[in-house]
Amino acid sequence: MATDDPQVGGRIQRLRRQRGVSQAELASALAISASYLNLIEHNRRRITVPLLLKLAGFFGIEPGELVENDETRLIGDLMELFGDEVFADSSLTNQDVRDLANSNPAIGRAVVRLYDQYRALRGARAGSAGSPEPGGPPPGQMTGGHPATDAVSDFIQANANHFPTLEAAAERVRADVDAEPDSLDYGLRNYLFNVFGLNWRTANLPAGIARRYDPERREVLTAEVLEPASAAFAVAHQIGLFAAGAEIDRLVDESDLPADAPVVARNALASYFAGALIMPYEPFLKACRETRYDIERIQRRFRASFEQVCQRMTTLQRPGQMGVPLHLIRTDIAGNISKRFSLSGIRISRHSGACPRWNVYSAFLHPERINVQISQMPEGQRYFCIARSYARGGYGYQAPRRHLSIGLGCHIAHAGSLVYADGIDLADPSQTVPIGVGCRICPRLDCEQRAHPPADHHFTMNERDRAESFYAPGRWGN
């Protein structure tokens, strides 16, 4: 048996480059010649099933992820895009969207970028005028992210949230930090002084400022209100801008990011470095395996925050040393998604809030407690999801607090690797909660929490029955 998928070679090549693996290294791991691998990557040789399984094992993914359409995520983004009311009269079908993504993916991505800009402009105009644009959202309704932040999310997703050059830079710095026979904070403090001639001290900084670099006084200041884990991360972030600046600049320069996005990308990559410095790859992966991804135990081991640990868990994509492929989402109490990344295969809304049935939202009802859910998407795929809400700020009397929720999860096939699945019958259908990407593209009309009809829905009045859901078949027909 073999696969004739004409796209699989390009996927293998992209995965290999994302992981920083040479053709010779991958060929050696697969026990084939580099020349044969080169032919596979250029779609000039068929891939046998045994070789496909080896490739999937090497990259730490499901075999189906190599042979399924490479544009699956693009298709999802386009379906969400064309679900907007502005396209209500276009009569586009799902097959039309798939044809565009498969035959002209570059054009499809350009359409997504154009729509990102359109939404940003539409939201800005609606906000300044105090009234909605024709076909646009009402004032105050969420309009999605900024094009720059969307572009950086795509950039991180395209690199599987793993940057080998930043891992190497963090390991070099950590070796110097660990030379100090004391705590991590002491090592960071001495590294800053010995390498850059900077002193680190806490200070009463203005509200909202977590860290300040003062080059004239040769100081790095962290706000006295920060938790120790947040202060250390802020300093590690600053060290990243200094010690890994060249690596960060190279990654940004090699990307195809639109205006404003490079600034956002530099911040994100410096944060990646900070996480890698505080939680070094091999010890962190070992801790994940030993504790079966027990976040709170790992927090204590590395003196990190809940969010820092979750974020770091998503970066474990080193060839031969991979963790569970995870997804991560962060949302506020109004439903605004500020972080989204998926290696599990679950789709996360690009422009609107996710499904209210998802436990990343119900976690707000049980603050500071880990909530567990088996989530099933409309196409039938199931995912094991955990979520916890928490508050930021409030470091003073009547100081405002920001309420957030972090969702982390994996495909149901990997659930047994997580301690949170203990005692749960993963095969019991009664344990499964149906969720969707968003109301506009979710086909479940009987959902009692549906906020909008599907994009292709047509209303007919039923005056005899009134269903609990405004859009349920009992009240309206399709």
Domain boundary, last residue among 289, 318, 347: 318
Give the model's pLDDT for residue 54.
84
* Residue 309 falls inside a structural domain: yes
Count of domains forming the chain: 4
CATH number, domain containing residue 241: 1.10.10.2910
Q: Which residue has the higher pLDDT, 328 or 115?
A: 328
In this structure, the number of other CB atoms found within 10 A of the CB of residue 132 comes to 17
381 plus 428 within the same structural domain: yes
* Residue 173 falls inside a structural domain: yes
- Over residues 442-466, the mean pLDDT reads 67
190 plus 293 within the same structural domain: yes
Give the model's pLDDT for residue 339.
92
* Residue 87 falls inside a structural domain: yes
Q: Which domain holds residue 182?
A: 164-318
340 plus 370 within the same structural domain: yes
203 plus 274 within the same structural domain: yes
Domain boundary, last residue among 264, 284, 318: 318
Residues 6+ apart with CB under 8 A from 65: 56, 345
Q: Are 325 and 410 in contact (CB under 8 A)?
A: yes
Q: Which residue has the higher pLDDT, 397 or 24?
A: 24
- Over residues 139-158, the mean pLDDT reads 70
96 plus 196 within the same structural domain: no
* Residue 258 falls inside a structural domain: yes
Give the model's pLDDT for residue 461.
57
Q: Are 421 and 415 in contact (CB under 8 A)?
A: yes
The answer to whether the pTM exceeds 0.95 is no
pLDDT at residue 457 above 60? no
The pair phi, psi for residue 311, each rounded to 5°, is -60, -45
Burial-class residue 23 by CB neighbours within 10 Å (0-12, 13-18, 19+). middle
* Residue 151 falls inside a structural domain: no
pLDDT bin (cut points 50, 70, 90) of residue 267 is: very high
pLDDT at residue 452 above 80? no
313 plus 172 within the same structural domain: yes
Residues 6+ apart with CB under 8 A from 206: none
Give the model's pLDDT for residue 142.
36
The pair phi, psi for residue 185, each rounded to 5°, is -60, -40
The distance of Cα 402 from the centroid of its chain, to the nearest Å, equals 20
DSSP category for residue 133: P
183 plus 211 within the same structural domain: yes
